[in-house]
Chains A and B, each alone.
Chain A
Amino acid sequence: MTLSFARHRHLAAALSLLLLLGLWQCLALSLHSNTLPGPLKVAGVFWQALKSGELPYHLGMTLLRLLLSFSIAMLLGCAIGVCLGRYPNIDAFFDNWVVIFLNIPALVTIILCYVWFGLEEWAAILAVVINKLPNVIITIREGARRLDKDLLEMAQSYRLGARKTFLHIIWPQLHPFVMAATRSGLALIWKIILVVELLGRSNGMGYQLHLFFQLFDVASLLAYSFAFVAVIQLIELLLLKPLDRKALKWRR
């Protein structure tokens, strides 16, 4: 029963995607304009870019920046978030900082980083980290505030020590918050990275998109975008979902 439902659901999803592609094709045919190429043309451009190695190269550069800035922002954000969540005095002191940084427009940090530090790789990474960091901090802080006091007392009375307490008491409770920060983080960071690359790098997806904009090459623009979206979906499917399943085994 559930199996057939799942099969139907997949069928429905495939149908709805096909419908979207069909509508797109119809629209492209009726407009007959260079600014809206049909899905077949985009697929062709995609294949060319893949074969020439250009798409993998630029996509790779962007993913590398994504990985680097994401890791730094998550590690730093988790540490600061736990600290603020556990110590209300420190939190009260730094709360304004978090709010201010949270509300600085991404574009402003990017421009400032480039102006102050030059069009360098690490300035680009720094700009992304600064944009993402406050987001991680507030999510993890919320998780750290909600840690179960009873379980912490249990750990203390049984003298579990710092390592065991973190691994077995604190981390499992923070996990959903870390996953939430990861998901919203990926979505946020990859959008910011494109802007960072557009403004001050000579490779990566953002740089390419800028190029296509100047050439009015909508087909390439769409091909690159879909490739990128697909990669992000793959990360979700192959990395985040299994992590979720593993950590939440006890809930079933």
Chain B
Amino acid sequence: MSGIRIAIVDKSYSVEGVSRQAIAPLELQIAANEFVCLVGPSGCGKTTLLNMVAGLDKNFQGRIGMDDAQRQPHIGYVFQNPRLLPWHTVRRNIELVFAGAPSAELIDSLLADMQLQDVQQAYPERLSLGMQRRVSIIRAFAINPDILLMDEPFVSLDAPSARQIRSLLYGLWLQRPHTVLFVTHDLREAIALADRLIFLSAAPMRLVADIPVDIAREQRNDATQIEAFREYLLKSFSAIRQLI
């Protein structure tokens, strides 16, 4: 496994002929199997950053790639809306992203881990948003990617569903560690999941703080621990308070 290195020199876009900077120079090193949360105000360019990592947006100066290889990283992307193909069943949606023959065993075990065995033959539009999100998480894990990108995958879910899927995701990740870039603007969610928190400013986006979360993995369910860490962050880093 290898980590990911992000080195952006400049990312600008033009509005009616006027060039605007979206992302200021930014350097990030993400270790292999590290779970990193990107926290920042909405509209600051987090999705743009993920799209650049995914290779969807190549219009920038800089380099994003694997540490040790020249090849482009394999990407598992969990988009903000699930982006499933409505004309294929849940299972077919997952099978489709395999480069070679899909592994039935792997799909079965992922479906079981995400508690979706019963709906694998259903069409996505029959499922709740939370279930669709779980399918898109399975799809991303199924290809065993070099890096998993997750763009606020629990946004606009009710609190209990979000909590349930978050813990399913966390369980899945503990079993099958991957390098993760996870975008959120929910600080509690970020603390509960991440090894490291990266705080980003409003546009033009720049790095504000890079803070490791030193809560043991087995204590991440403990709401008081999460709350205490949050209090500590807000007290110690005044810059963070303006971001969330």
Contact = CB atoms under 8 A, between A and B. Distances in A.
Asked if A pairs with B, the answer is: yes
A159 B81 CA distance: 19
B141 interface: no
Interface of A: 150-151, 153-154, 156-160, 164, 168-169, 172, 247, 250
Contacts of A154: 77, 79, 83
Interface stretch (B24-32, B85-93, B214-222, B226-234): B85-93
Contacts of B55: 156-157
A159 B85 contact: no
Given A157-B55, A157-B56, A157-B75, A168 B83 contact: no
B99 interface: yes
Interface in B39-97: 51, 54-56, 74-77, 79, 81, 83, 85-88, 96-97
A168 B96 contact: yes
Given A153-B79, A158-B76, 13 more contacts: A150-B79, A150-B83, A151-B83, A151-B85, A154-B83, A157-B55, A158-B97, A158-B139, A164-B96, A169-B85, A172-B85, A250-B88, A250-B125
Looking at chain B's contact residues, the main secondary structure is loop
Most buried by A among B55, B87, B88: B87
Contact of B123 (A151, A158, A159, A250): A250
A158 B143 contact: yes
User: Which 4 pairs from chain A and chain B are nearest by CB?
Assistant: A157-B54, A154-B83, A172-B87, A157-B77
Q: How large is the interface on B (under 10, 10 to 19, 20 to 34, 35 or more residues)?
A: 20 to 34
A62 B83 CA distance: 46
B56 A153 contact: yes
Contacts of B139: 158
Nearest to B143: A158
B85 A158 contact: no
Contacts of B125: 250
A172 to B, nearest CB: 5
Interface string B134-154: 000001000100000000000
A158 B51 CA distance: 12
Contacts of B76: 158
A140 B74 CA distance: 33
A250 B86 CA distance: 7
Contact of B96 (A156, A157, A160): A160
Contacts of A153: 51, 56, 79, 83
Contacts of B56: 153, 156-157
Contacts of B143: 158
Most buried by B among A151, A158, A159, A164: A158
B44 to A, nearest CB: 20
Contacts of A172: 85, 87
6 contacts: A150-B81, A153-B83, A156-B55, A168-B96, A169-B85, A250-B125
B244 to A, nearest CB: 27
Most buried by B among A159, A164, A247: A159
A169 B55 CA distance: 19
A159 B98 CA distance: 9
Contacts of A169: 85
Contacts of B74: 159
B87 A158 contact: no
B85 A168 contact: yes
Contacts of B96: 160, 164, 168
